Amino acid sequence: MQSLVQRVMRSSLNDGSSASLRRPTSSAADGQHIFNRQASGTSTVPPSAEAAHHETNRQRIETRLKREGEATPSPHEAEARLVRIKNHENHALANSKPASTAGIFKHISSTDLLFLIDTTRSMQPYISAAKDQVISIMKDIKSAFFNKADVRMAVVGYKDHGDRNPIQTIDFTSDVKRVSSFLDTLVAQGGGDYPEDVLGGLQQALVASWKHPTRCIIHICDAPAHGRNLHDLDDGDDDYIKPGSEPHGLTHVPMLKLLIDQNVHYSLLRINGSTDRMAYEFSQVYAEASADWTAPGGRAKNKFNFEEHNLGTSYGALRHLAVKIVTTSATRSATLSVSVAGNGKDHHRGNHFSPLFMVEECDEPDVALETTAPQWDTPGWLDEIIEFEAYTTDVVAHGGSMLDQMMAHDDNIKIKTTNLTVHKRRRPFAQGAMRVASYARSDASRNRLVVKSYKRRGKKLAHLLGDMRCQALCKAFALEFNSMVSEKYSLDFIVVTSLAPKSALGDAESCLSLEPLIDGEYVKYNSNAGWVNPDNASDPVYMAAQAISHFTFERSLGRFLVSDLQGVGRVLTDPTVHSQDPERFRLTDTNLHQEGFLFFFSTHKCNALCEQLKLKSNGAMVVANQYDFRKIWPDDVAATNMMICCSNKLCSRIIRASICKTSEEFPGYRWCEKCWRELQRTTKHVCHAPGPLHEFEVSRFFYESQGDILPRHCPKHRGGASRAVGSISSRPRGGRECRSGSGCIDLNCTLSHPS
């Protein structure tokens, strides 16, 4: 059989004309008018020149056919890829020893709590309050952690230089009655000038026998430390006004840094305004040692925190504040993201754990970032073009319960593959602890994307596919959640595509991820280890974020819980899926399994949405392993009719069915506004069928959006099924239809139609 190149060259020679190749436009969406008929007639070009001309045409046509042939994998190649990555996943699972997460909750919630108390003459009511409430505080802390935590308490009482018994202390003990008895011995007396020996008390706190992972100081005082940098008093009110001039030569900065090094959270209970300057200076030391870990990519170093709470004369509030401080500190100790898998290290040896600080160990050096605003419309601004093997998930099921199927088995979260040309900016615009983000677009779309790549030690494709499946499951949960709540509470999870450069499949450092770009300010709503954002609890998105975590546990009958929620507005990204089954999502880094359930319920407070959804589950059920779940859920077909995903698998935005866009040329597909506009853009391809050479128009965006293979044949030679598979047959552009009426454009149309 003649090749396509031979056929087009023969037809050109037979009709006495030459077929020349017009260079395709740089934008695939602008159309590629490849073949350009020249005037027919007797050639006056010398034979050698004419032969050279035809050879040039042959090479150009061959190049085009090769490019079109490589645009998507053949069905056989696509199937082979999926088999290959399945083997990669099986190999990764076989070589990844399941990391034991059992006992992490107990370990992290076990607490050392030290009360640092000013015991000068004005403080007697607070000493008495501490004595009266310390037993209740111990009981409440243990109850908050489902009686799984080991809790120890210590007390350091301080007065001022020259006072009798200026420092009195009891070291950490789990015997709360001993602590109560010690507090009973403290007598509020002494104090000369206005400031007190706060730094002497801190020095004693530093040498206490800190042991447990969650470490807290609760400082109760009504006067600042010595030194003009720690208060706004007149010089005459401080006998040691010059910083460091007090008898022991102590200053606050090195002492607080030592506390930070010991992972101690510091909470100052404010009684009056005299301590405000000291509180500010202390907080600055803590802040300098950390970054905002609630922001995307924030470093784990920041999880040790300084806080100020207003106590005033509300002695009874001490109990509530103390429990709140400890539970918050515990979740900070467990956050950022608890990494227990994927790096081959043993995190659990006997009763000793080391998973919580892996993020710090994995931090990579910062890289230079983009400093100018993106220039999407400037040609060449996306200065790197890379060919990838792309892998996407199929979120929209075609029958049955999509969510139930996904929950049943990982293999029900379908993966498709295609080739994808990505135009990206070489210099990243943002970075986290381990990854950088760069602006990008795909070859067939103007939609704005972001490529995330690892600075040094990347994930293998098998691990990225696990992350993809997590995101897909989260989106399926969101589809059903949104169908049950009003519009203002609706949420979405960003879709993730895994990319493997064609030249380096399986190279751990070369696999990337592709996501839609979401502009705006990132907000973290909760962590995978129980931390809950304390701000804007009445905000609809905040309420929805906490409620959907609870909903995922209830809807899955305790098999899954989605947490670690952050994003821009209603669009969330990088969630964690905790699974009851230790074999599910085993290659993801942040799945704490049953321990993740405990972390969530240790801090979760049901809000109005939880009540509206009639969610029954709670932490006590998790501890007892006895559950009472909601029995009846809305019919999933009805829910799908209300909420759908955009049919573009690189977008998959959740939209209401009533406002989605449809096209007669692509029946059964539904689109968001942005993707629907891209759908209308078409390009021409050469039909590979035997016979006269001809082109047909096709929406490359459609096939890219489906992760499907571009057709090699026109609608006629595919059997006429054109509209459902992305060919635009009703509107031929830039040529005349051949007499078949199939929508093909005959490149040698003068052979079929008189001019």
DSSP secondary structure, 393-442, as one string: E--S-SSS-HHHHHHH-GGGS-EEEEEEEEEE-SS-SEE-SSEEEEEEEE
Coil/strand/helix, residue 225: strand
227-250 per-position pLDDT tens digit:
999 999 999 999 999 999 999 999
- Structure confidence at residue 288 (pLDDT): 85
Q: What angle, rounded to 10 degrees, do the helices at 252-261 and 198-206 form?
A: 30
Per-residue pLDDT, averaged over 387-411, amounts to: 81
Instruction: Indicate the pLDDT class of residue 69, thresholds 50, 70 and 90.
Output: low
Residue type, 326: V
118 has a pLDDT exceeding 90 = yes
Highest-confidence range of 10-14, 66-70, 633-637, by mean pLDDT?
Answer: 633-637
CA distance 477 to 672: 20
Tell me how far apart the alpha carbons of residues 265 and 740 are, in angstroms, rounded to a whole number.
78
Please enumerate, as own/partner, the contacts of 398-406 that have beta carbons within 8 Å and a separation of 24 or more: 401/636, 402/476, 402/479, 402/636, 402/640, 403/476, 403/477, 403/479, 403/480, 403/555, 403/636, 404/636, 406/472, 406/473, 406/476
Q: Quick one: DSSP state of residue 508? A: T
Mean pLDDT computed over 566-580? 94
* pLDDT at residue 493 greater than cutoff 80: yes
pLDDT of residue 67: 54
Can you list the pairs that 88-93 forms with residues at least 24 positions away whose Cβ atoms lie under 8 Å? 88/460, 88/461, 88/462, 88/506, 89/462, 89/465, 89/466, 89/587, 91/462, 92/460, 92/462, 92/463, 92/587, 93/462, 93/586, 93/587
Q: Is the pLDDT of residue 18 over 50?
A: no
Residue 289, pLDDT score: 77
Amino acid at 604: H
Nearest to 568 by CA among 291, 371, 296, 369: 296
SS3 652: coil
Helical packing angle, 276-288 and 252-261, nearest 10°: 50
Q: Which residues of 585-614 are buried (b: 16+ CB within 10 A; e: fewer)?
A: bbbbbbbbbbbbbbbbbbbbeebebbeebe
**Greatest CA span in the chain, whole angstroms?**
119
Look up residue 141 and give its two tokens: 């802390």
pLDDT computed for residue 447 by the predictor: 94
Interhelix angle 124-144/176-185, nearest 10 degrees:
170
Half-sphere exposure at residue 251, Cβ-oriented, CA atoms within 13 angstroms: 11
Q: pLDDT at position 398, please?
A: 41
Angle at 682 between CA 679 and CA 685, to 5 degrees: 135
d(CA 281, CA 287): 10
Is residue 479 a contact partner of residue 643, using CB atoms and an 8 Å limit? Answer: yes
Residue 552 main-chain phi, psi, to 5 deg = -60, -35
* Ranges 49-58, 410-419, 703-712, most confident: 410-419
Mean pLDDT of 585-608: 92
DSSP letter, residue 737: B
Residue 79: phi, psi to the nearest 5?
Answer: -65, -40
Confidence (pLDDT) at 418: 86
Cβ contacts of 366-369, under 8 Å, gap ≥ 24: 366/431, 367/428, 367/431, 367/436, 367/455, 368/427, 369/427, 369/428, 369/429, 369/430, 369/431
Angle of helix 594-603 versus helix 317-334 axis, rounded to 10: 150
d(CA 681, CA 699): 6
Q: Could you give phi then psi for residue 287, rounded to 5 degrees?
A: -65, -40
Residues with Cβ within 8 Å of residue 86, at least 6 apart in sequence: none
* pLDDT band per the 50, 70, 90 thresholds, residue 203: very high
Angle between helices 317-334 and 124-144 (to 10 degrees): 50
Whether the predicted pLDDT of 439 surpasses 70? yes
What is the reported pLDDT for 458?
Answer: 59
Contact 118, 161 (CB under 8 A): no
Report the DSSP beta bridge partners of residue 560: 579
pLDDT-based confidence at residue 291 (cuts at 50, 70, 90): low
User: Which residues, at least 6 apart from 535, have a Cβ–Cβ distance to it below 8 Å?
Assistant: 542
Give SS3 for 622.
Answer: helix
Residue 750 has pLDDT above 50, yes or no: no
| Geometric angle at alpha carbon 149, from 291 and 128, rounded to 5° | 85
The residue-averaged pLDDT of 516-540 equals 90
Which uninterrupted H or E stretch holds 641?
A: helix 636-642
pLDDT tens-digit profile of 327-369?
Answer: 888 887 776 435 443 333 333 333 333 333 333 334 566 788 9
CA angle 236, 237, 243 (to 5 degrees): 85
CA distance 243 to 230: 9
H or E, element range at 683: strand 683-686
The secondary structure of 150-182 as a DSSP string is -EEEEEEEE--TTSSS-EEEEEEES-HHHHHHH
Give the DSSP H/E element, type plus range, for residue 470.
helix 461-484
State phi, psi for 342 to the nearest 5 degrees.
95, -10
DSSP 546-608: HHHHHHHHHHTTTSEEEE--EEETTEEES-EEEESSTTTTTTSSS--THHHHHHHHHH----H
Model pLDDT, residue 401: 80
Q: What is d(CA 696, CA 714) in angstroms, rounded to the nearest whole number?
A: 6
Supply the Cα-derived Rg of the chain in whole angstroms.
Answer: 33
140-143 contact pairs (CB < 8 A, 24+): 140/319, 140/322, 140/323, 141/111, 141/113, 141/322, 141/323, 141/326, 141/327
| β-bridge partners, 498 | 391, 513
pLDDT value of residue 250: 96
Name the range with the highest mean pLDDT among 74-83, 436-445, 703-712.
436-445
Residue pair 737/744 in contact (Cβ under 8 Å)? The answer is: yes
CA-wise closest residue to 176 among 147, 192, 140, 152:
152
**C-alpha triplet 570, 575, 580: angle, nearest 5°:** 130
What domains can you pick out in the chain, each with its CATH number? 4-40+50-70+681-751 (no CATH), 107-334 (3.40.50.410), 384-645 (3.30.200.20)
Q: Using an 8 Å Cβ cutoff, are 497 and 514 in contact?
A: yes
Q: CA nearest 124: which of 239, 271, 237?
A: 271
Cα–Cα nearest to 130, from 59, 183, 82: 183
Q: Read off the pLDDT of residues 364-393 as tens digits, 9 standing for 90 and up.
A: 667 889 889 999 999 999 999 999 999 988
